[in-house]
Amino acid sequence: MDALYRDYILEHYKNPRNFGTLDPHDLEWHDHNPLCGDELGVHIVVEDGQVKDLRFHGQGCAISQAAASITSEELIGMPLTEVRGLDAEWVIDQLGIEISPTRRKCALLGLKVMRGATTGDASWPE
């Protein structure tokens, strides 16, 4: 089996969870990876300070799409205070694969738009 393109990574890439749009939604953010042009947006419905539901949308490589899909399952139900504190390590742990420096931004694009939507901070997660 390939070390990067594991079965579950490809499975999430081909059948991404929680992809699409949510209308109405409470929070939204859209961003891109300037290096490769990959784009990702998110719609979030908030209830009692928690992520009640979310949808990612956009286009990108297997790593960026799988990262968004895999983390989406963890993010639903998470308190916004916790979402705001998530860092790069959390995403990479969720992915369960080694991410080289050249693919790091691919992996982090999903968290970047989550952070943007919940804090207004457009910087890359560290």
Which chain residues interact with other proteins by CB under 8 A? 2, 4-5, 10, 14, 35-39, 59-63, 65, 103, 106
Closest approach of Cβ 84 to other proteins, in Å? Answer: 29
Smaller CB distance to other proteins: residue 1 or 47? Answer: 1
Smaller CB distance to other proteins: residue 14 or 52? Answer: 14
Gap between the Cα atoms of 108 and 44, Å rounded: 18
SS3 18: coil
Closest approach of Cβ 48 to other proteins, in Å? Answer: 37
* E strands in 23-72: 27-32, 39-47, 50-59
Smaller CB distance to other proteins: residue 102 or 120? Answer: 102
Closest approach of Cβ 39 to other proteins, in Å? Answer: 7
Gap between the Cα atoms of 87 and 125, Å rounded: 6
Smaller CB distance to other proteins: residue 18 or 65? Answer: 65
Closest approach of Cβ 68 to other proteins, in Å? Answer: 13
Residues 6+ apart with CB under 8 A from 15: none
Neighbouring CB atoms inside 10 A of 24's CB total 6
